[in-house]
Structure 1
């Protein structure tokens, strides 16, 4: 894919400052999970996939959490289409969404529970859903005592 020509110096500067990890939504969710007693790892490489990371990981339960940015990952409610370099951006954003789907499918094929949330979702709601999914995964993966 050819490098796009910035439409302006301000656009170029703004895009170069975009963080890909430790975003405000990620930190807010992590604080809530930690406060509720849950322990996790952050920015963990996707097993078997180069150059991809999971935002929040519960390795023992094999639960992977992604907090996707609305612009970069194509949120159906909030995604916008840049007018400058429109074709390049459309290709770039489509590739991001395709990569997200491929990553999710790969992890699920490997036995992981994958939860994806949008950056605009309330951190409290995300943390509750994560805690519920984690509890469910741990219940089903923990051997139950057997009667003799």
Structure 2
């Protein structure tokens, strides 16, 4: 009861309750694009130019609230374009100074969820390709096209 009262008091002063994200941070995070990011659109454009057709933002079977950026259902190939910040790119990852422990847990959880998703798809017989947002999307399209081509044999 005291904790609820304390949470209500913090909210009335414009502060977030303990264990939650400040409202301004939550708003910024909610505004981040989840689909149709610039790198993803560049990759899709390259794939389309190569004559490849695919599904976008397809739900992953058996994993609620998870989606693949690009899928080739006949080839059973899932493609992800990961953002450097959100998925902890080894080259560009940064650690926010404010609320460092909360962010560490959040970002480590994203990476763990990525690995779990990859493993789940592989158990279902799918191949998984992941590219960082900073990678050359023309080269990524060549890698994807080769994987699709191999599956057609």
Sort the TM-score into its range (normalised by shorter chain): 0.7 to 0.9
Question: After alignment, is 118-127 or 13-22 more displaced?
Answer: 13-22
Q: SS of 2:71's equivalent?
A: strand
- 2:63 pairs with 35, 49, 68, which one? 49
Give the match for residue 4 of structure 2.
none
* TM-score (norm: length of structure 1): 0.87
Distance in 1 (alpha carbons) for counterparts of 2:45 and 2:19: 39
The equivalences for 1:90-101 within 5 A come to 90-101=104-115
Unaligned runs of 5+ in 2: 1-17
The equivalences for 1:1-148 within 5 A come to 2-5=19-22, 9=24, 14-139=28-153
- How far 1:16 sits from its partner (Å)? 3.3
Distance in 2 (alpha carbons) for counterparts of 1:12 and 1:101: 25
Distance in 2 (alpha carbons) for counterparts of 1:13 and 1:105: 32
Between 1 and 2, higher relative CO (CA 8 Å, sep ≥ 6) is seen in 1
Distance in 1 (alpha carbons) for counterparts of 2:79 and 2:124: 15
Provide the alpha-carbon RMSD of the alignment: 1.5
Instruction: Give 1 or 2 for the bigger CA radius of gyration.
Output: 2
Residues 5 and 85 in structure 1, CA contact (< 8 A), matched pair in contact too: no
- How far 1:14 sits from its partner (Å)? 3.9
Provide, for residues 27-80 of structure 1, a one-character-per-residue CA deviation record: whole Å limited to 9, x for no partner. Answer: 000011001100000000001110000000000110000000000001000011
Unaligned runs of 5+ in 1: 140-148
Q: SS of 1:80's equivalent?
A: coil
* TM-score (norm: length of structure 2): 0.84
Alignment coverage as a number of residue pairs: 136
Residues 63 and 134 in structure 1, CA contact (< 8 A), matched pair in contact too: yes
